Amino acid sequence: MNLIMLNNRYPPIIIKKKNRQEYLQALNNTDKAKTTDDQQYKKLIDMTAQELTSSYWNIFL
């Protein structure tokens, strides 16, 4: 995922250690979800977006 982000001039996503288990669970649930189950995808996307925002702003603050 980070290689794709970097190749498109976005910063890498850094999943904090304290959030790693939750991230892996969301990723696992998304892998198991049916393609029509948007809730599983939404949780993973929301979590990834939050981590990206957090790590991005920590660079500058």
Tens digits of residue pLDDT in 16-26: 999 999 999 98
Tens-digit pLDDT profile for residues 43-52: 888 999 999 8
Q: Would you call 54 exposed, middle or buried from its count of C-beta atoms within 10 A (0-12, 13-18, 19+)?
A: middle
Full-model pTM: 0.72
Q: Which two tokens stand for residue 5?
A: 């982000």
